[in-house]
């Protein structure tokens, strides 16, 4: 008889969290932010508010010091389509690694959009709709954010235009079609549709492009279109807030396991998936004095491990207000790794500040080590992870192997932020030996850092 521990930790739809967790209430230092365009709107007219980037409701969330912020019922109702997501004991991965560690993972791949991105997309679209906006634009890397926003826009009846990074547009046609199925307009970026796109095509016709460029195009589109706004899928305080449903559920589910994590691991693009899982555990850190929170980034875009903590723009062309963050420079263009969602040059202000104050750790991996881990996970746990999520898996495996070497028990929790069913061409590239490690050179980072405007410092 095989003895198998319980492997599924499921909640019911009644257990969808009623509140998001706002970590700003619990940080003992201020998070530097500069949102000039937005600050104006707080005291402004209704018209001024509507012209601003985000609705007042979301702006208030982004500066609130309330610990818990209620989730509007129409958003919770949408969450109940697929949330709470499962938490699994990675029992077969433990066996494969022959580790004394107990490994758990939260699985956001069961979302209809295939990733965690729908958590904030639905909230944002709800608030934009309430504010009278009829049309949203955005940029998307791997297409996970774009498909989530497209679905959310359809749920609340808004138009949606997505600028998709050229490399992903070519590599991931299925995600493009998924957006089209939600009636979104999908445009390969850089495009002829915007001034910044045309300039880019002229100066760098063969660029792989980047999320910063796609976002710049989407911002320009929104600025020149009526009742239209630019929506962003990561980085901003309110985005991190919306993702905390992941960690709130995971806290509840870890209670069912009887374990509490020694280490909490997520991949790191701009930081919303990391924040979503890690922040609620940070709040409960007194339950475990030595708990570690690890953000995992690609060596192709090592903003935390090799970037600088400074003021910088969020987009390629410098349209956006500057924020203080770990950055490789807003003109940095990451090598074309398959984890398109991690190719963003900067880290969220809150995550950056926490890293700066030593509250979290960061680690970077080359691409092939990441795919090796993704395949080990797929072959043992059977769910194919997104290349982004495979970064967290690589780190979790290394922690588990260290536990084996040191002969000690430990509890590992990581987030599988999305499934990799639309990234199978990337896995084939790895299996056929075509894939490179995509480690970025010091000189490229130095050059890009040098282009950060001095007035931001």
**By the criterion CB under 8 A, which residues form the site for a second copy?**
1-2, 4, 6-8, 10, 12-13, 73-74, 77, 80-82, 110, 112-114, 151, 154-155, 173-174, 177-178, 180-183, 375, 378-379, 381-384, 421-422, 424-425, 427-428, 431
362 by DSSP, 3-state: which?
Answer: strand
User: Helix axis angle, 118-130 relative to 56-63, nearest 10°?
Assistant: 130
Residue 242, H or E segment: helix 237-257
DSSP code for 340: G
Contact 425, 124 (CB under 8 A): no
Give the integer Cα–Cα distance in Å for 260 and 270: 26
Nearer to a second copy, 38 or 419 (CB): 419
Peptide bond into 190 cis (omega under 30): yes
Nearer to a second copy, 282 or 427 (CB): 427
Give the integer Cα–Cα distance in Å for 265 and 101: 14
Contact 309, 352 (CB under 8 A): yes
Q: How far is the CB of 211 from a second copy (least distance, A)?
A: 22
Q: How far is the CB of 123 from a second copy (least distance, A)?
A: 15
Residue 103, H or E segment: strand 102-107
Nearer to a second copy, 122 or 263 (CB): 122
The DSSP-derived string for 370-399 is HHHHHHHHHHHH-PPBPHHHHHHHHHHHHH
Contact 293, 287 (CB under 8 A): no
Nearer to a second copy, 23 or 422 (CB): 422
Q: Taking the mean position of all CA atoms in its chain, how far away is CA 402?
A: 27
Q: How far is the CB of 19 from a second copy (least distance, A)?
A: 18
Nearer to a second copy, 8 or 409 (CB): 8
Nearer to a second copy, 36 or 382 (CB): 382
Q: How far is the CB of 389 from a second copy (least distance, A)?
A: 15
Q: How far is the CB of 388 from a second copy (least distance, A)?
A: 17
Q: How far is the CB of 82 from a second copy (least distance, A)?
A: 8
Q: How far is the CB of 6 from a second copy (least distance, A)?
A: 7
Q: How far is the CB of 424 from a second copy (least distance, A)?
A: 4
Q: How far is the CB of 33 from a second copy (least distance, A)?
A: 34
Nearer to a second copy, 186 or 251 (CB): 186
Strand partners, 265: 294, 414
Nearer to a second copy, 39 or 376 (CB): 376
Q: Taking the mean position of all CA atoms in its chain, how far away is CA 128?
A: 20
287 by DSSP, 3-state: which?
Answer: helix
CA angle 93, 95, 97 (to 5 degrees): 70
Whose tokens are 């959009």? That residue is 113
Nearer to a second copy, 380 or 444 (CB): 380
């Amino acid at each position: 008889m095989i003895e198998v521990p319980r492997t599924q930790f499921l909640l019911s739809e009644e257990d969808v969290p009623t509140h998001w967790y706002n970590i700003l209430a619990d940080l003992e230092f201020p998070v530097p932010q500069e949102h000039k365009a937005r600050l104006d709107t707080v005291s402004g007219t209704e018209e001024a508010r509507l012209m601003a980037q985000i609705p007042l409701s979301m702006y208030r969330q982004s500066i609130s010091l309330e610990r818990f912020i209620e989730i509007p019922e129409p958003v919770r109702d949408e969450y109940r389509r697929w949330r709470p997501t499962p938490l699994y004991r990675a029992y077969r991965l433990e066996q494969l690694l022959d580790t004394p560690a107990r490994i758990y993972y939260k699985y956001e791949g069961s979302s209809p959009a295939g990733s965690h991105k729908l958590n904030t997309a639905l909230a944002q679209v709800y608030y934009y709709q309430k504010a009278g906006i009829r049309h949203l634009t955005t940029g998307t890397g791997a297409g996970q954010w774009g498909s989530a926003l497209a679905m959310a826009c359809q749920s609340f009846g808004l138009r949606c235009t997505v600028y998709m990074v050229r490399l992903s547009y070519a590599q991931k046609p299925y995600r493009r079609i998924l957006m089209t199925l939600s009636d979104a307009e999908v445009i390969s970026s850089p495009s002829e549709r915007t001034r910044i796109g045309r300039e880019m095509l002229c100066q760098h016709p063969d660029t792989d492009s980047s999320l910063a460029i796609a976002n710049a195009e989407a911002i320009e589109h929104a600025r020149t279109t009526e009742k239209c706004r630019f929506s962003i899928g990561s980085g901003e305080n309110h985005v991190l807030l919306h993702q905390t449903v992941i960690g709130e559920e995971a806290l509840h589910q870890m209670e069912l396991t009887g374990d509490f994590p020694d280490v909490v691991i997520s991949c790191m693009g701009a930081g919303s998936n990391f924040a979503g899982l890690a922040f609620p555990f940070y709040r409960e850190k007194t339950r475990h004095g030595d708990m570690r929170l690890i953000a995992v980034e690609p060596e192709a875009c090592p903003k935390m491990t090799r970037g600088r903590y400074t003021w910088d723009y969020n987009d390629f062309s410098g349209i956006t207000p500057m924020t203080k963050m770990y950055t490789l420079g807003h003109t940095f263009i990451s090598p074309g790794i398959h984890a398109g969602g991690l190719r963003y040059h900067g880290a969220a202000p809150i995550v950056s500040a926490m890293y700066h104050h030593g509250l979290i750790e960061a680690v970077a991996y080359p691409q092939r080590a990441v795919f090796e881990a993704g395949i080990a996970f797929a072959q043992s746990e059977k769910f194919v992870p997104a290349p982004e999520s495979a970064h967290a898996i690589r780190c979790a495996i290394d922690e588990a192997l260290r536990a084996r070497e040191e002969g000690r028990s430990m509890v590992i929790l990581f987030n599988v932020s999305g499934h990799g069913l639309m990234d199978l061409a990337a896995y084939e590239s790895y299996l056929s030996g075509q894939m490179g490690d995509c480690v970025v050179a010091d000189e490229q980072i130095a050059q890009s850092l040098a282009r950060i405007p001095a007035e931001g410092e």
